């Protein structure tokens, strides 16, 4: 089997080299020449555990090559970005998906399977992709097979989840679903559920929307509890002791290519009825402002000027900056003008980055942890001994060990810190 993957980003590249590992002839296509050159030279342009090893193996076996244009193939997998449109409802921008479909049309042959993995709004396959293919003379379900199979992986664990997560294959016709299942059965060890395209589209969106709504509940609870001088983290821990309760953890906001983007695709399709989803997005989007407000209060209490941000990626132990609330918070604090703002993230190449944590914290008044990198779980004396004020604001609630002379606060205890600071003035 020969597979042509369009888009060599966080999903397309791991998917390509996974197919290659299982003996499939894979052509990876990307519009960026430096990405193509880097991959063909054996250098992965993304950070993901195991990715470099998979790429090395694929190149050594001759099962993968990257290029700027597609080739004829048995299956085409489209894994390009689907950003939000800049409009009132932040609807799904299908520009890259439709461009990718248009670009593969000259290379599609009878019996080819076209799979869209990109996360898309409900009915996008039926209303936009299918007509584009039919306008070019193809009969879906007879000449070619059209499928939506949403990616369902977590950065940092992609290769395990590609093989072991259940997959949803939504075809325009039952024969399309059957064709899609045959493609993924190459390496998927778990169950493959066949359905129609629009159900597959909505199922992926609801997976992420469920989590976004749950996080919004935790974030709103945090605000309420801080107003009432109650530790929200204790409340969540106790509530989750109930066998049918699973409240997520609060944090500085929601990032990544899924949770911060996908719920809007549903809202845009049903703006008058998606009230809960829309409100949850607003709550989570408000968290960077809330964190900055609390940072202002902390800095006023300690009479501080220098802030060190720990982590810029949207989640721990990866380099992904997409929709990261840490970047938003960084820019807001820099715009205050009254603070010197530094950052340290060993996974990210960023202009604000210090060389190491000790350097980043030297002379700092506040260590603001915004990403749950494993290295921030334990803070050592050598890291903090040069801080001007030894205060840590852990917005991810991950720190387990700190030096005795440090004050470590989180979203559950910040009300106590601020209240005690007022009483001690």
Q: Each residue of 285-295: pLDDT tens digit?
A: 999 999 999 99
Q: Which residues contact 288 (CB under 8 A, 6 or more apart)?
A: 252, 253, 325, 328, 329, 332
Percent share of the chain, pLDDT over 70: 98
Q: Give the model's confidence band at 421: pLDDT under 50 very low, under 70 low, under 90 confident, else very high.
A: low
- The pLDDT value given to residue 257: 82
Average pLDDT on 158-176 reads 97
- The pLDDT value given to residue 397: 96
- The pLDDT value given to residue 88: 84
What are the boundaries of each domain within the chain?
2-196, 286-424
- Range 2-196 has CATH code 1.10.3720.10: no
- The pLDDT value given to residue 424: 44
Token pair, residue 128, equals 């936009």
Percent share of the chain, pLDDT over 90: 91
Answer yes or no: is pLDDT of 303 > 90.
yes
Say yes or no: do domains 2-196 and 286-424 share a fold.
yes
Q: Give the model's confidence band at 351: pLDDT under 50 very low, under 70 low, under 90 confident, else very high.
A: low
Answer yes or no: is pLDDT of 423 > 50.
no
Q: Which residues participate in catalysis according to the annotation?
A: 204, 258
| Separation CA 7–CA 113 (nearest Å) | 17
Q: Which residues contact 359 (CB under 8 A, 6 or more apart)?
A: 344
Token pair, residue 119, equals 């996360």
| Separation CA 133–CA 139 (nearest Å) | 8
| Separation CA 425–CA 422 (nearest Å) | 5
Average pLDDT on 305-315 reads 95
Q: Which residues contact 181 (CB under 8 A, 6 or more apart)?
A: 169, 192, 194
Which helix H or strand E contains 334, and what residues bound it?
helix 325-335
**Closest among 64, 61, 75, 71 to 14, alpha carbons compared:** 64
| Separation CA 269–CA 117 (nearest Å) | 20
What would the pLDDT profile of 232-269 be if each residue is shown by its tens digit? 999 999 999 999 999 999 999 999 888 899 999 999 99
- Fold category of 286-424 in CATH: Rossmann fold (3.40.50)
Q: Which residues contact 318 (CB under 8 A, 6 or more apart)?
A: 47, 48, 155, 156, 347
As a whole number, the mean pLDDT across the chain is 95
- The pLDDT value given to residue 258: 86
């Amino acid at each position: 089997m020969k597979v042509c993957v369009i888009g060599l980003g966080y999903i397309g590249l791991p998917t390509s080299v996974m197919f290659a590992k299982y003996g499939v002839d894979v052509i990876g296509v990307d519009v960026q020449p430096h990405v193509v050159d880097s991959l063909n030279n054996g250098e992965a342009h993304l950070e993901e555990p195991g990715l470099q090893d998979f790429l090395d193996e694929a190149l050594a076996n001759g099962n993968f090559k990257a290029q700027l244009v597609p080739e004829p193939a048995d299956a085409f997998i489209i894994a390009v970005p689907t950003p939000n449109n800049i409009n009132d409802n932040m609807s799904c921008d299908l520009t890259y998906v439709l461009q990718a479909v248009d670009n593969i049309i000259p290379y599609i042959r009878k019996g080819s399977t076209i799979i869209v993995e990109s996360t898309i709004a409900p009915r996008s396959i039926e209303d936009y992709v299918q007509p584009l293919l039919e306008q070019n003379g193809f009969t879906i379900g007879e000449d070619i097979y059209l499928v939506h199979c949403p990616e369902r992986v977590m950065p940092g664990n992609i290769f395990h989840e590609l093989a072991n997560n259940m997959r949803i294959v939504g075809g325009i016709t039952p024969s399309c679903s059957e064709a899609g299942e045959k493609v993924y059965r190459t390496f998927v060890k778990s169950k493959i559920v066949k359905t129609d395209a629009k159900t597959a589209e909505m199922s992926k969106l609801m997976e992420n929307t469920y989590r976004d709504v749950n996080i919004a509940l935790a974030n709103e609870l945090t605000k309420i509890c801080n107003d009432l001088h109650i530790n929200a983290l204790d409340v969540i821990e106790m509530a989750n002791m109930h066998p049918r309760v699973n409240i997520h953890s609060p944090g500085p906001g929601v990032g990544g290519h899924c949770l911060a983007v996908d719920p809007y695709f549903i809202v845009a399709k049903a703006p008058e009825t998606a009230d809960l989803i829309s409100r949850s997005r607003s709550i989570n989007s408000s968290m960077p402002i809330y964190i900055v407000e609390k940072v202002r209060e902390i800095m006023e209490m300690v009479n501080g000027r220098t802030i060190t941000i720990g982590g810029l990626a949207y989640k721990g132990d990866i380099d992904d900056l997409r929709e990261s609330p840490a970047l938003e918070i960084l820019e807001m604090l820099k715009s205050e003008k009254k603070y010197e703002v530094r950052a340290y993230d060993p996974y990210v190449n960023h202009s604000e980055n210090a060389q190491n944590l000790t350097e980043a914290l030297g002379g700092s008044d506040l260590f603001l942890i915004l990403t749950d990198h494993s290295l921030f779980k334990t803070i050592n004396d050598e890291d903090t001994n040069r801080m001007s004020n030894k205060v840590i604001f852990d917005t991810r609630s991950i720190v387990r060990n700190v030096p005795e002379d440090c004050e470590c606060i989180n979203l559950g205890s910040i009300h106590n810190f601020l209240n005690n600071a007022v009483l001690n003035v």
